[in-house]
Structure 1
């Protein structure tokens, strides 16, 4: 990562003018910004890349696949999800195996934005296997938003995850999906020693019984 230039706001203003014109030259200003250390500046560049739309997709694929820094790959995943181009689904699924947890998280969120139901089994596997609790909790939340019954077995097993926030997110997701296979595991989870998990399980049970 590199320090953002002192005039980064001016750089992004120039890029925004080009984006409004759908001018591909805006990529020359925006792609290097994915390496900037300043999170605010980098996030603004991501938003502008998303506004550029499908013409940015090939360049973002290249960054997602080959960029040296996690910030670049994560920014590319974020922008691809925001653009909403279905061509990105396969690349984002592949990025779920990225060594950086920030990239895996951005890819899960991108797949949700793309409404990529075919990615549900892969995200469910991420919930069960990823070493990062931060990734697992995002995966659980996204699976709940998909409301796909295929995720129920993984979410049930995640009710005993070592991290309480993953257990809580999994209980909430099961309530969103509404599959009655989860009732007994959720009843058990109402006795979780972490009160927030127990409350989430109780709320999920109420949703299933409604």
Structure 2
């Protein structure tokens, strides 16, 4: 861009009617020489009318497009702007610049009263974590926050982080808070993090919380099971065979040679075991119903009750036999 064009746009910043268009064009041109003028607009409070916030909002967006860390001080100041659209634009710009020094400000904005700002901050933190090596452990605490909104935003951060946040989630499986452990298992399943399978398998078996174990098991069902790794044997570590084993091998070789030469020695006959004569089981005397006494019939009725209770006979068989012996008992008692 020519210096004349830049000078023209910077001059238009002083024209209230053409200021907004100049700010947008400076952001699209991404010239770092516009950082200072845009920073002054961003940090100059003006609430004279309903749309007075627009230059500040557009200035934050333009600084985010330029992406130079020299704009961070002005963005930090503007993060406390009275208008929520300005704060939202600041959060988005901090995520685009991608500097780790913006994390404290973004974490503070994560608790902003405006839902739109919290959602923008969650995405900004996720984008920042993908491009910059920032500590991700504080994001785990959001997964167990008392606020439903912050817990949801914590999950949104890790979803935005994607694969770059998987290691943090795996470490979160050993957190002392069971809510965080369960949330980490759910997020690993949602991210399809295959390398988390061994850690989830350990949690599903050994975790003290039944709920966490169930979440880990559900996550394992979503992820593909890794192939089984067969153990490898280092041949250099195998001890030499013993003398006894060597002699057995030599004797086996000698016996094989004898078989190949048809010179096998005559083997002694195998002794046949003497089998005892078959024993016939003692015959059970047949019960003659005509010769049973009344006392014997009562014993048979008692046995029927026991066999029915043990499930040895069906109820139909029980009724049939019980009726027969009851009638026989009455006949005996009437004799």
- Provide TM-score, normalisation by structure 2: 0.43
Instruction: Check 1:159–1:125 CA distance in 2 against 1; reply closer, same or farther (3 A cut).
Output: closer
Contact kept, 8 Å, 1:12 with 1:45, in 2: the verdict is: yes
Moved more, 78-87 or 127-136: 127-136
Deviation at 1:175, TM superposition (A): 2.0
Q: Aligned equivalents of 2:182 and 2:52: distance in 1?
A: 37
Matched residue, 2:217:
187
Instruction: Please tell me whether the aligned partners of residues 96 and 104 of structure 1 are also in contact (alpha carbons under 8 angstroms).
Output: yes
Q: Which residue of 2 aligns with 1:39?
A: none
* Aligned counterpart, 1:194: none
Cα deviations by residue, 1:38-80 (Å, 9 ceiling, x for unpaired) = xxxx6x755421215122110100112x212332222212111
Report what 1:87 is aligned to.
Answer: 101
Q: Is the 8 A contact 1:63 1:72 kept in 2?
A: yes
Which residue in 1 is equivalent to 2:172? 151
Cα pair distance change 1:13/1:134, threshold 3 Å: same
Residues 177 and 92 of structure 1: CA distance in aligned 2, closer, same or farther (over 3 Å)? farther
Residue in structure 2 matched with residue 25 of structure 1 by the alignment? 37
Partner of 2:153: 135
- Larger gyration radius, structure 1 or structure 2: 2
Say how many residue pairs are matched.
181
Compute the RMSD of aligned alpha carbons.
4.0
Distance in 1 (CA, whole Å) between partners of 2:143 and 2:52 is: 27
Q: 1:16–1:29: structure 2 CA closer, same or farther, 3 Å change rule? A: farther
CA distance in 1, matches of 2:219, 2:107: 31
- Partners in 2 of 1:143 and 1:29 — Cα distance? 32
Q: Following the alignment from structure 1 to structure 2, what is the Cα–Cα distance between the partners of residues 104 and 177? A: 30
Cα offsets for 1:138-158 (capped at 9, x unmatched):
134146432223233566422
Match of 1:171 among 189, 200, 207: 189
Corresponding residue for residue 209 of structure 1? 226
1:103 aligns with 2:113: no
Q: Which runs of 5+ in 1 are unaligned?
A: 37-41, 161-166, 191-200
Equivalent of 1:124 in 121, 140, 151: 140
Report if the CA contact (8 A) 1:140-1:155 is conserved: no
The structure in which a higher percent of residues are helix is: 1
The Cα of 1:83 is off from its aligned counterpart by 0.7
1:78–1:106 CA contact under 8 A, matched in 2: yes
Alpha-carbon offset, residue 159 of structure 1 = 7.4
Look up the SS of the partner of 2:99 in the other structure.
coil
Partner of 2:83: 69
Provide the rounded CA distance (Å) in 1 between the counterparts of 2:28 and 2:219: 53
Residues 100, 133 of structure 2: 8 Å contact kept: no
**Partner of 1:128: helix, strand, or coil?**
coil
Query: Residues 179 and 108 from structure 1, CA distance in 2 versus in 1: closer, same or farther, beyond 3 angstroms?
Result: farther
After superposition, what is the alpha-carbon deviation per residue over 1:59-109, rounded to whole angstroms, capped at 9, x for unaligned?
100112x21233222221211121122221232233333333333333333
